Structure 1
Amino acid sequence: MAVEMVMPKLGMAMKEGMVSNWRKEAGDPVSKGEIVADINSEKIEMEIEAPADGIILEIVVPAGQGVPPGTVICRIGSPDEQVIGAAAAAPEAKAHIAEAAVAAVAEPAPSPSPALRKKGESKISPVARKMAEAAGIDIESIAGTGPQGRITKEDVERAIAKLSAAPSPAVESGPVTPPAAGGEQVEQTPVSGIRKVIATRMLDSMRSSAQLTLTLKADVTGLVALQKPVSETVQKQYDVKLTITDFIARAVVLSLMQHKQMNSAYIDERIHTFGYVHLGMAVALDNGLVVPVIRHAEKLSLLELARGLKSLAQRARSGQLGSEEMQGSTFTVTNLGAYGIEHFTPILNPPEAGILGVGAVQDTPVFIGEEVQRRSLLPLSLTFDHRVLDGAPAAEFLRTIKQHLEDPYRLVL
C-alpha cells in the first residue's frame, strides 16, 4: 500500500507551506530517511525525508506551490503498485490546490468580467487584498480565477506584473532583454523560498509605511572596557559569553520601556502600543535572513537576554526554529558591524514602528575638552514609521539608547 508524504506543520501559526525543490522525480527509487524535497514556510526552510523504502509513485504538489499543512505532497510505494487517490487531502486543502492550479495556467479560463460584478462584491483573500492595496490597484478591476470568482494572490501578482510591464508613453515599447556583452551568457535564478518571502515583505514594507532614518554615534569606550572582564567572568561561571550586541539589546529594551511610542505597530489605521517588549534580532543565514524573537525581554536580565539570544541564533542557523518563534516582535535590531559597515538604512519589519541598525565600532580621535583622545564610537541607525511618531520623539529614543550605552554599568544592574 502506498505511503503518503504530507506537508508537515512547521509551527503552530503555520497556515501554508511550499515545496521549494524536489530532489527526486516520479519513478525514482528512495530509501527510508533519504532526503526527497526541500520545503519552506514563512522564513523557515527544511529538508523532508522519505518515510519508507520504495519508488516515487506520484508527485502531487509541484515545486513552487503552496499548500496547507497535512496536504499530501507525494506518494511512495512498490513499482507495480497503482496510485489510488482515495486518501485525499482535507477539503480545504483540495480547494487550495485547485485554486493554485488554476492560477498557474498561462491563459486562465474565462472568469466573470469585473464589469459584471457589483461594486463591493469582489471576493478576495486577505493576503491578496493587502497586496492590491499596497500596489494601488482597484480590486474591482481584477478578474478572480479562484473558486466562485475569488481573487487570489496570483491574480494580484499578474495584475501587478501587467501594470509594471505597461510601457511608458515616452518610451517605445519592445521586448526587454538583459544587457550582455560579447555573447556572454546571463544566469537567471528563479526567486523562491526564503528569498521570495524576504523580497515580498521588504517591498510591502517600503510601499505601506512612511520610513525615515536617523543616525548618530555612541561613545562606547567604557562599554568596550567593561565588556571584556565581565564577559570572562560570566563565561567561567555561567558558560555564556557576553558580547557588545547583548549590551546593545539590553539598552534597546530599557529605552523601549522609557519610550513606549516606539514600541508600537501601525495596524488597520490604528496605532497599537505594547506594554511588553518582544525583541526581534536579525540573523543572517546562507540563504536569507530570519528574525527570531525574544519574548518579554523587559523581564530578562542582561545574562538571561544574552543566553536567549544565543540559543535562538544557534537554532536559527541549524534550521530548528518554529515559525511561532519568528512572529510577534514589537521592535527589531539588525547588526552589520561584523562586515565593517558603519551607518546604513534598515528597512522596517512590518508592522513594527522601528528598527535599529548597528554598525562597526570605530576607534576615532575625539576632542574631550581641549585634549584629543582615542575613543570607540558605535554607529547607530534608527528607521521609524513616521505615521506612528515624529522625528523628535524618535530622536529622543535614539538618544536614550546612546545614554545607556555610554553609561554601561546601568545595563548590568
Structure 2
Amino acid sequence: MAVEVVMPKLGMSMKEGTVSVWNKEVGETVNKGESIASINSEKIEMEIESPAEGTILDIKVPEGEGVPPGTVICYIGEGNEQVEEKKEKGLPPKQKKERIKISPVARKIAQSANLDIHTLVGTGPDGRITKADVLRALPDEKEKQKQQNEPTKHQPVSMMRKTIASRMMESLQTSAQLTITMKADVTKLTNLQQQLNETAIARYETKLTITDFIAKAAILSLLEHPAMNSQYHNGVVETFENVHLGIAAALDNGLAVPVIQHAERLTLIELAKSIKLYGKKAREGKLLHDEIRGSTFTITNLGAYGVEHFTPILNPPEAGILGIGTMYDTPVYREDELCKGTILPLSLTFDHRVLDGAPASAFLSTVKAHLEEPISILL
C-alpha cells in the first residue's frame, strides 16, 4: 500500500508550510531516509526524508505552493502501484492541478529567464520539457539587448524572508529605537582567550571564541542592569529575572535567532557549547519552534564581514540588541606609553520607551568593563 508523505507541523503556531524544491520526480526510486524535498515555514527550513523505500508514485504539492500541516504532499510505493487517496466525507473532490513535466535544470533556467513553463513545448519522453527546449525559447541576442534594463532574475520571496521583512517593519514602526556606540580595548581578552583555548579544547572539546566571552559579559551586565532585560507590552514595561539570550545566526536564505534559555545559569564553557550547538542547528535547518522564541535580549555579530559600527534593529518585543563589529589593531596609550591594542566596536540599539540614554549607556559601559577586564567574566 502506498505510503503518504505529509507536510510536518514545525511548531504549535505553524499554519502553512511551503515546498521549496523537489529533489525527486514521479517515477524515481528512493531509499528510506533519503532527502526527497525541502520545505520551509515562517522561520524554519528543513529537508523531508523518505519514510520508506520505493518509487515516487505521485507528487500532490508543486514547488512554491503552501499547504497546511498534515496535507499529503506525495506518495511512495511499489512500481506501478495505484494510489488510493483518502476522501473526506461531505467534501467535494478537489480539482487536481495539471503538473508540468520538466527537468530540474530546465525549471531553474526558465525561472531565471522569467519564462512561463506553461508556454513551452517539451520534446523529452512523455512530453517532458528539457534544458534544450528552454534554451530554444530564450530571446535572441537583439531581444536581450532591448531588455538589458529589465531584471535578470525573478525569485519568489520565501516564507522566511517574508517573516523577517514583516518583523523588521513591525520593530521599526512600533518602538522608539536609538543606537549608541562604544569601543572596548580587548587586548587582555584576546590574550586570555588564547591562554584558555588549549585547556578548553583538551578538557571540554570546545574552542572558546570572542563571541562566547561577549555573550557572557552581556549576561552579567543584564543582571546588573535589569532594565535592559525588559520589554514594552500594552503600556507596561515588563522586566525579566532570567536571561533568555538570542544569538542571531546568518543563513544562506535568511536569518535565525536561536534562544539560549536561562543563560545566566551557564558557565562560560556551557554557554560556548550552547552557542555552537544552536548555530549548527540553525544552519542545518533543524531548530525547533521552542528554540527560536522567548528571547529577552539578542546579540548580533557582523565582525566577520569587516563591519565596525552599525545599527542593529530590535528583535521585538525586546528592549535591547547588542551589535558586535570587527576587531582591529591600533596604537593605544597605557600609562603614558604608546603600544599596540586590539579594539572591539560595540553598537547597542535600545527601545527609548523602556529606558533612557543614561541607563542604556551604563549597561553598555558595564559590558565594556567586563571585556576590558576579562577576569571578571570568569569569577
Q: Which amino acid is the alignment partner of residue 4 of structure 2?
A: E
1:333 is matched with which residue?
299
Q: Which amino acid aligns with 1:263?
A: N
Contact 2:230 2:318 in 1 (8 A): yes
Structure 2 distance, partners of 1:58, 1:46, is 18
- 1:269-304 CA-partner distances (Å, limit 9, x unpaired): 332211100101111222222111111011111121
Gaps of 5+ in 2: 98-145
Give the one of 256, 264, 268 matched to 1:298: 264
Structure 1 unaligned residues grouped into runs of 5+: 102-179
Does 1:358 pair with 2:324? yes
Alignment match, 1:48: 48
Q: 1:57 corresponds to which letter in structure 2?
A: D
Aligned match for 2:178, one of 212, 223, 238: 212
Question: Once the 2 structures are TM-superposed, how far is the Cα of residue 264 of structure 1 from its aligned partner?
Answer: 1.1
- Alpha-carbon separation, structure 2, partners of 1:403 and 1:242: 19
- Residue by residue, what CA displacement relative to the aligned partner does 1:60-92 show, whole Å, maximum 9, x if unpaired? x4444444432323334564625534269xx9x
Give yes or no for the alignment of 1:315 onto 2:270: no
**Other-structure match for 1:190:** 156
Measured in 1, the distance between the counterparts of 2:218 and 2:256 equals: 19
Counterparts of 1:16 and 1:62 in 2: how far apart (Å)?
14
CA distance in 2 between counterparts of 1:47 and 1:410 reads 43
**Cα distance, 1:9 vs. partner?**
2.7
Relative to 1, partners in 2 of residues 1:48 and 1:55: Cα closer, same or farther, differing over 3 Å?
same
- C-alpha separation in 1, matches of 2:376 and 2:14: 40
> C-alpha offsets along residues 185-242 of structure 1, whole Å, 9 cap, x if unaligned?
5212111143232222222222222211110101111111111111212222221111
CA contact (8 A) 2:2 2:81 kept: no
Provide the secondary structure at the position in 1 that maps to 2:214: helix
* Counterparts of 2:59 and 2:374, CA distance in 1: 61
2:82 maps to a residue whose letter is E
TM-score scaled by length of structure 1: 0.71
Q: TM-score, normalised by structure 2?
A: 0.77
Q: What is the Cα deviation at residue 400 of structure 1?
A: 0.9
Q: Is the 8 A contact 2:24 2:56 kept in 1?
A: no
Q: Distance in 1 between matches of 2:277 and 2:191?
A: 25
Task: Give the 3 Å change call, closer, same or farther, for CA 189–395 of structure 1 in structure 2.
Answer: same
Q: Deviations over 1:234-262 (max 9, x none)?
A: 22222111111111000000011111111
Structure 1 segment 11-410 matched on structure 2, within 5 A: 11=11, 14-24=14-24, 27-33=26-32, 34-52=34-52, 53-59=54-60, 61-77=61-77, 79=80, 81=82, 83-86=84-87, 182=148, 186-410=152-376
Contact kept in structure 2, 1:35 and 1:47, CA below 8 Å:
yes
**C-alpha distance in 2, partners of 1:317/1:400?**
32
Distance in 2 separating the partners of 1:79 and 1:220: 67
Distance 1:55 1:237 in 2: 48
Using the TM superposition, give the Cα deviation of residue 11 of structure 1 relative to its aligned residue in structure 2, in angstroms.
4.1
For residues 116-136 of structure 1, what are the alpha-carbon distances to aligned partners after superposition, in whole Å with 9 as ceiling and x for unaligned? xxxxxxxxxxxxxxxxxxxxx
Are the aligned partners of 1:58 and 1:76 in contact in 2 as well (CA < 8 Å)? no
Shift of 1:392: 1.4
Q: Is the 8 A contact 1:20 1:193 kept in 2?
A: no
Number of the residue aligned with 1:6: 6
Letter in 2 for 1:256: L
Q: Give SS of 2:226's match.
A: coil
Which residue identity lines up with residue 311 of structure 1 in the other structure? L
Q: Tell me: CA distance 1:66–1:324, structure 2 relative to 1, closer, same or farther (3 Å).
A: farther
Aligned residue pair count = 325
Give the whole-Å Cα distance in 2 for the aligned partners of 1:87 and 1:58: 19
CA contact (8 A) 1:332 1:354 kept: yes
CA distance in 2 between partners of 1:8 and 1:232 (Å): 43
Q: 2: CA distance between counterparts of 1:223 and 1:335?
A: 17
AA aligned to 2:302 is: L
What per-residue deviation string (whole Å, max 9, x for no partner) do you get for residues 286-340 of structure 1? 2222111111011111121112112222222233221211111111101111222
From the superposition, tell whether residues 351 and 65 of structure 1 become closer, same or farther in structure 2 (CA, over 3 Å).
farther
Counterpart contact for 1:249–1:333, Cα < 8 Å:
yes
14 and 308 in structure 1: CA distance in 2 versus 1, 3 angstrom threshold: same
Q: Aligned residues: percent identity?
A: 58
The verdict on how the C-alpha distance between 1:30 and 1:205 changes in structure 2, with shifts beyond 3 A counting, is farther
- CA drift of 1:29 comes to 3.6
Q: Secondary structure at the match of 2:227?
A: coil
Q: Does the Cα contact within 8 Å between 1:45 and 1:193 map onto a contact in 2? A: no
**Native 8 Å contact 1:42 1:323 kept in 2:** no
Native 8 Å contact 1:294 1:308 kept in 2: yes
The one-letter code matched in structure 2 to 1:81 is Q
Provide the rounded CA distance (Å) in 1 between the counterparts of 2:83 and 2:273.
53
* 2:229 and 2:320 in contact (8 A); partners too: yes
For the residues of structure 2 that align with 1:3 and 1:38, how far apart are their CA atoms? 18
